[in-house]
Amino acid sequence: MTTASSAKRPSYEPARRLLRPPGYRPDMKRPPTTVAGALLVFLRVVVGLLFLGELALNWNLVATESAVAIDGLTAGEAAGIGLWIVVGIISVVLIFDAVLAVFILRGHNWPRVIVMVFAVLSISAAFGSWWLYDLEITLKTSLLTTALDTLILLALSSRSAAAYARRNEQR
């Protein structure tokens, strides 16, 4: 007879058990954690688009603070070129993030791992900025992205999301 207390998982599990492949289960249903993780990645893309819009609206202020001079161009032309370069780079990153979210929803493991690595790097960068440069984590700086990255890590590192992403692996 199985009781409720014997069905609980132990608080510590050996790494061998945690890293064991979940088994071949191609008919596994998509778990809510995978859907939540992908939706959070899409939300991170939306936040990135809002950041781009705000950056474009305040670009003159940002460009005058950086004061990069390019030979043969006026300050206004250099600022305009700088804006297009920054918008282009961030747009490529946001498109890549959205594509990764689609692949996560389709059940691939590699985009889940890439998104989790980027989330860890983003959280680490926010912590490093706070620790080394006293850069406060506020709504205007990195609070929203740090919160989203933390939630993404929680959702995509869950057992069910990992099992779904690795459901087609054979032992």
To the question of pTM greater than 0.85 for the whole model, the response is no
Q: Is residue 23 part of a domain?
A: no
Q: Is residue 148 part of a domain?
A: yes
Q: Is residue 4 part of a domain?
A: no
- 109 Cβ contact partners less than 8 Å away, ≥ 6 residues apart: 162, 165, 166
Cα separations in angstroms, 67 against 61, 62, 64, 79, 123: 10, 9, 5, 9, 29
Q: Is residue 95 part of a domain?
A: yes
Q: Is residue 12 part of a domain?
A: no
Q: Taking residues 105-109, report their average pLDDT.
A: 93
- 55 Cβ contact partners less than 8 Å away, ≥ 6 residues apart: 62, 86, 87
Q: Is residue 22 part of a domain?
A: no
pLDDT tens-digit map of 108-149? 999 999 999 999 999 999 999 889 988 888 877 788 999 999
Q: Is residue 61 part of a domain?
A: yes
DSSP state, residue 166 = T
Structural domain of 149:
30-163
Instruction: Please count the structural domains in the chain.
Output: 1
Q: Is residue 20 part of a domain?
A: no
